[in-house]
Amino acid sequence: MTLILFYIYRIKYIIALLLLLPTCLPAQEVQEIQIANEYFSAGEKEKALEAYQALAKNFLNIPSIHNNYFNLLISMGKFKQAEDYVEKLIKRENKFGYRLDLGVLFMKQGDQAKADKYFKALLKANADDIYRMKTAADYLSSYNLLNYATEALLQARATGGPMLYNLELANLYRLQGKRSEMINVYLDYVTQIPSNISYTKNLLQVLLTKPEELDALERVLYERVQQNQQSEVFADLLIWVNLQQKNFYGAFVQARAYDKRFRKDQSKTLEIGQVALNNSDYENAIKSFSFVTKEFARTENSLPAELGIIKAREAKVKKSFPVNHDSVRYLIGEYRHFKNRNFGNPNSDEADLSASMLHAYYLDELDSAIADLSNLVSSTKVSPQLKAQAKINLGDIYLLKGEPWESTLLYSQVEKSQHESPLGYEAKLRNAKLWYFNGEFKLAEEHLNILKQATTREIANDAMDLSMRIKENTTFDTTGAALKEFSHIELLVYQNKLDEAVKKLNEFKSETSPGILDDVYWLDANLLMKQGKFAESIVQLQKILDEYPEDVLADDAYFLQGDIQEHQLKNKEKAMDIYREFLNKFPGSVYAAEARKRYRVLRGDFSDTPNQ
């Protein structure tokens, strides 16, 4: 019934609009209206006023001049003349729009009490016409009378149903800064049309950018979930808001409850584990994957979760400096065991891929890695994507061996086979770095200029960083002599020839120009960190901040100091101080969201996440 009424009102409104269209005016009148509007647009108020006053004598001109004429009278402070004009129109036609004009006029005159009484009576008298209430809301919004615009929509909802004009009402609440009210209306909207959950998430992501705003949404969602235990939409949004806050423990708790309650084929908790792993939250990744292996045993979720646990453990080992070789061998054993138990499954090929790279990078067992990767590349059962990744990895290992031409051949094959895909871009970035290591900076930049437009943010950022380094260090030194020497040292680091790299870096540091010293300090800091010399690493990072405070590496250096304090030195208070100060110094940094999340985690903001 409500929907039928809505369409009846809509048809009536369209008919009314058609009836109000002005009859054809003489050419002379049309020309005079155009001249008056031009005066108005140019700000020539006196000339416009004179022209509109003359035109207003012919009532047929009113629809064409009314808005400009009315606003001109208000802007010139001619309130009595405006009031006489509008009242004359109301007596003649008593149109709803003219009556709204009169209320606006009272407001502009500064008579708040009179305007308030007038608007309330006018809206109440027309409350049964939902489309007229929508028109009033739009009109009042245009004059920034948001309270009355909101009241108009609330009157319409009282007549037409509590879900009417959800998006319009939410927008009004947003403009008024009424965050909780806005959130509740958006949640009503997605309850009304659950298929619009992605659209709602996108809206909320744009509108709620501050931590306190996301906190407010989270509180409202907890209340909704408690009141609607079987609402899949609210449970899904609660997981989503925890992810927006980078609160992966909270996301895990909610996803676990979601999986238990709704029991879908695809586990939400598995998704959270993968997101947590990608964001370096290894503890919560392992918690998520472990839950999936137990609750979704013998389903398609189980093997990715088992593999995820090993990958998370691997990432933890790689972040513990210096890397423990016994731990690496244990991980290889885990991957091999996983492969043997699941032979023929695509996940087992992925395990092979990971194990081969551990052999190469951490145990210097290059031949073993090459053999494993070559088997993956030649296999007819391996997916094209995994085969492409194996080729990239194989190219990396040939670079470790000092055979760059084999590397570029493999990278170029992937560029061609995976054109315009993330793997294709990754291969192109590898080729660019290879040219950079060889001192072929122009060739490197040709690749990098394409990659700046890459679809993945990480690849685009890496391309821009390397491109910027090349430009900074070849602008005044066109031969790029210093950069060539520095890039050769970077290649030694890449090849795990750390002792030789440290020796050459120390020699280079004492001889080079200040223009490249920021990059030298950064490389030195990372080398020292790999060797477990954390205090010395922090000293090198501080040199960047002291000597190059405006440099592009400044935020990287400051953030890495916090990371070392938090994860390596276990100095929670110092890490919190650094992250807090980081947000003040570098609010626009790509690390800002991560720094805010880490600060809040260390402060304990997420330690008492309620269960569903």
- Whole-number Cα distances in Å, 612 to 269, 330, 418, 484: 14, 38, 43, 58
Residue 139 and residue 117 in contact, taking contact as beta carbons nearer than 8 Å: no
3-state secondary structure of 382: coil
Alpha helices in 78-231 (DSSP H): 79-93, 96-108, 112-125, 130-142, 146-160, 166-175, 179-192, 197-207, 211-227
The predicted-structure confidence for 21-43, as pLDDT tens digits, reads as follows 444 566 777 888 888 889 899 99
Distance between CA atoms of residues 343 and 390, nearest Å: 18
Maximum distance among all Cα pairs of the chain, rounded to whole angstroms: 96
Given CATH 1.25.40.10, say whether it is the number of domain 513-612: yes
Element (H, E) at 567: none
Q: Where are the domains of the chain?
A: 1-164, 513-612
Of residues 363, 370, 360, 354, the one with CA closest to residue 324: 363
Distance (Å, rounded) from C-alpha 458 to C-alpha 445? 17
Distances (CA, A) of 94 to 97, 101, 102: 9, 11, 11
Percent helix, strand, coil in the chain, to 5, is 80, 0, 20
Specify whether domain 1-164 bears CATH 1.25.40.10.
yes
> What string of DSSP letters covers 518-547?
HHHHHHHHHHHHHTT-HHHHHHHHHHHHHH
Task: State how far the Cα of 402 lies from the Cα of 218, in Å rounded to an integer.
Answer: 53
pTM of the model: 0.81
Q: Are the CB atoms for 289 and 273 separated by under 8 Å? A: yes
Q: What is the pLDDT of residue 5?
A: 46
Considering only CA atoms, which of 205, 282, 221 is closest in space to residue 249? 282
Per-residue pLDDT of 120-168, as tens digits, reads 999 999 999 999 999 999 999 999 999 999 999 999 999 999 889 999 9
Q: How far apart are CA 262 and CA 521, in angstroms?
A: 53
Is the fold of 1-164 the same as that of 513-612?
yes
pLDDT at 333 (0 to 100) = 96
The pLDDT of residue 512 is 75
Whether the Cβ atoms of residue 339 and residue 347 lie closer than 8 Å to each other:
no
All residue ranges of the chain with pLDDT < 50 are: 1-7, 12-23, 610-612
pLDDT of residue 24: 53
Q: Which residues contact 238 (CB under 8 A, 6 or more apart)?
A: 218, 221, 222, 225, 254, 612
Residue 602 neighbours by CB under 8 Å, 6+ apart: 566, 572, 575, 576, 579
Query: Measuring CA to CA, how many Å separate 465 from each of 113, 415, 462?
Result: 60, 21, 5
